[in-house]
Amino acid sequence: MSVALELQGVVEISRAIRARQVSARAVTEAALDRIERRNRDLNAFRLVLAERALAEAAAVDKALTQGADPGPLAGAPYGVKDLFDVEGFPTAAGSKIGAAESPATQDAVLVRRTRAAGGVLLGLQVMDEYAYGFTTQNAHYGATRNPHAPDRTAGGSSGGSAAAVAAALGEFALASDTNGSIRVPASFCGVFGLKPTFGRLPRTGSFPFVHDLDHLGLLARGVEDLAVVYDVLQGHDGGDPACAARPVEPVALGLEHVARPLRVGLLHGWFHDMAGPVARAAAQEAASRLGAQARVELASAEDGRSAAFLITAASGANLHRRNLETRPQDFDPAVRGRLLAGALLPADALVQAQRVRRKLYGEAVKLFERFDLLVAPATPTPAPGLAETEITLGDRKLPTRPNLGLLTQPISAIGLPVVVVPFLQDGPPIGVQLIAAPWREDLALAAARRLERAGFARCPTPPC
Amino acid sequence: MTGHGATQGDDLATVRTLAEMFGLSLREEHLGEVAAGWRLMQPHLTRVRQVELAEDEEPAAFFRP
């Protein structure tokens, strides 16, 4: 086996490339070869950009030859969800309509930052149309399959990104999370995911869904990789009016060094009642291993989830209204009906929904006076089958598609940073949310690292 | 009539009426999908409306944590 194929992870690959033990070109060719072999079955990539990837790898190798530093991600291959602008290609956002638009004239800000740090872009990854879904079953581009159980969903809407990372078709992926679109597929595919605080990472050059709920983040197979890439992505950009003018707050070097013991609470109430036994057990175990001191409640979690549900439908409808009226036949039928219904919601209910968010946020702020970290399941169950239309929770049967995010929605509704850690068990993987106070991604990542080092949080071996 | 207890026919009628009121152009063949989407929203609409809020609880429009 070649050195390029044996290497795993951003940190290891970049270190080997910088030490000239392997070329970026060899690593890129190995990644492209793996995509060629696996993508037909998984449908993780909508578009593979081999020419660009090889050119970026050549630039990394050339920089090293000239004695220059290619950056902390030197030669690390990655993919992006199909809603990031990539120069020369239309930004489809999982839609037929977007795919017919003019090509992007420049890369999204986060893609530019990743490239400047030496990352090698492999391609664009399959998603639910306009990010409105939790299963990545796309009428235009097909369903993404779960690498660990091909008859099960990869989750969504960043399903292509999570499946690619889980199957080692690239070392990390840039993705988005409005209601759980990083955390749900991370849970189902057994990878680590980071959804930073709302306003942390600039969305400039990415296709929006819900302006005041959209977060950008990433997926990887290890916590150190998440942290190293996240550090590269940080920094204000004026192109996104919601991006906070905060300094870069690096986390990678502090992963192992939390100044004091973390105060950890296990979220109960909604997060217990709406989780199946596997999800409950995983969250309980994670909380115990982190030394959880108490079970706590976010009393308005269900209200906040409902608020997010309505705001999402109305905002999506507003964004796409013209096309919904003039060319509805070009939408994915699974998305079209909900978007159109969103255009019918009454204004007073939407104002009320925004007030409910504020109430929930107030409750969370109070909790964070007593705790550094809150722990909750990421999804109510492990990945359901692609054809399963209902999930069972106790004696309740719920429609699958709208309910896979019921444990993630209350958290993104108030913009809190979350790391999802994969929990290995006998069956398919499931993830646990480690939730921190605003701007404390460092604490969530440090806790994730602790669980990873203890062997509790770990990605399943990528299938061959 | 709409929401809990509403029939599919009720929801179709509601969607037609609201679309007309809000000037939303809908194709007849998509009415069933929209009614299904509308039904999905109803428990959330009901829930959000029932939340008791203090008068000084401001909307979190363009929310910043």
Identify the residue whose tokens are 């992870």.
A9
| Phi, psi dihedral angles at A434 (to 5 degrees) | -110, 110
A397 flagged as catalytic: no
> For residue range A207-217, what is the model confidence (pLDDT) as tens digits?
999 999 999 99
* DSSP 8-state assignment for residue B25: -
The 3-state DSSP composition of chain B as helix, strand, coil percent (nearest 5) reads 55, 0, 45
Q: How confident is the model at residue B5 (pLDDT cuts 50, 70, 90)?
A: low
In chain A, residues with a C-beta closer than 8 Å to the C-beta of B35 are 337, 341
State yes or no: is A23 an active-site residue.
Answer: no
**Angstrom distance (rounded) from CA B48 to CA A353:** 6
For residues A231 and A219, what is the distance between their CA atoms, to the nearest angstrom?
A: 14
**Closest-approach residue (CA) in chain A for B37:** A338
- Which residue among A213, A310, A340 sits closest to B30, beta carbon to beta carbon? A340
CB contact under 8 A, B33 and A337: yes
Q: CA of B52: which chain A residue's CA is closest?
A: A356
Whether residue B9 lies within 8 A of chain A, CB to CB, comes out as no
Nearest to A354 among B18, B40, B60 (CB): B60
In angstroms, rounded to a whole number, what is the distance separating the alpha carbons of residues A284 and A268? 10
Considering A81, A176, A206, A315, which one is annotated as catalytic? A81
Residues of chain A with pLDDT under 50: 1
pLDDT tens, A278-311?
999 999 999 999 999 899 999 999 999 999 999 9
For residue A4, give how far its alpha carbon lies from the nearest alpha carbon of chain B (Å).
43
Active-site residue, selected from the candidate residues A14, A23, A161, A181:
A181
pLDDT score recorded for residue A4: 64
- What gap in Å lies between CA A216 and CA A201, rounded to an integer? 6
What pLDDT sits at residue A293?
Answer: 87
Which entry of A14, A23, A95, A157 is annotated as an active-site residue?
A157
Of B26, B45, B58, the CB nearest to A340: B26
Q: What is the pLDDT of residue B8?
A: 74
The reported pLDDT for the residue numbered A91 is 98
| A328/B27 CB distance under 8 A | yes
Q: Is the distance from CB of A364 to CB of A298 less than 8 angstroms? A: yes
Instruction: Find tokens 């995010």 and name the residue.
Output: A405
Residue in B closest to A309 by C-alpha = B44
C-alpha distances in angstroms, A79 versus A94, A107, A150, B10?
A: 15, 13, 20, 46
Q: Is B55 helix (H, G, I), strand (E, B) or coil?
A: coil
Please tell me which of the candidates B26, B35, B51 has its beta carbon nearest to residue A303.
B51
Which one of A331, A352, A412 would you mutate to disrupt binding with B, by most B Cβ within 10 Å of its Cβ?
A352
Contact yes or no for A199 and B65 at CB 8 A: yes
Taking CA atoms, what residue in B is nearest to A358?
A: B60
Res A451: pLDDT? 96
Q: How far is A438 from chain B (nearest CA, A)?
A: 7
**Subunit contact A341:B40, Cβ cutoff 8 A:** yes
**Does residue B5 sit at the A interface (CB-CB below 8 Å)?**
no
Reported confidence tier of residue B1, pLDDT bands at 50, 70, 90 = very low
Q: Whole-angstrom Cα distance, residue A35 to residue A434?
A: 31
Say what the pLDDT of residue B55 is: 87
Residue of chain A nearest B55, judged by CA positions: A355
Q: What is the pLDDT of residue A3?
A: 64
Quick one: DSSP state of residue B62? T
> Which B residues in the span 20-49 are in contact with A, Cβ-Cβ below 8 Å?
22, 24-27, 30, 32-38, 40-41, 43-45, 47-49
Instruction: Answer whether residue B63 shows pLDDT above 90.
Output: no
Nearest by CB to A355, from B24, B44, B53: name it: B53
Considering only residues A224 and B2, tell me which one the structure prediction assigns the higher pLDDT.
A224
- pTM for this model (two decimals): 0.97
Contacts of B28 in chain A (CB under 8 A): none
Instruction: Check residue A246 and give left, alpha or beta (phi > 0: left; psi -120 to 50: alpha).
Output: beta
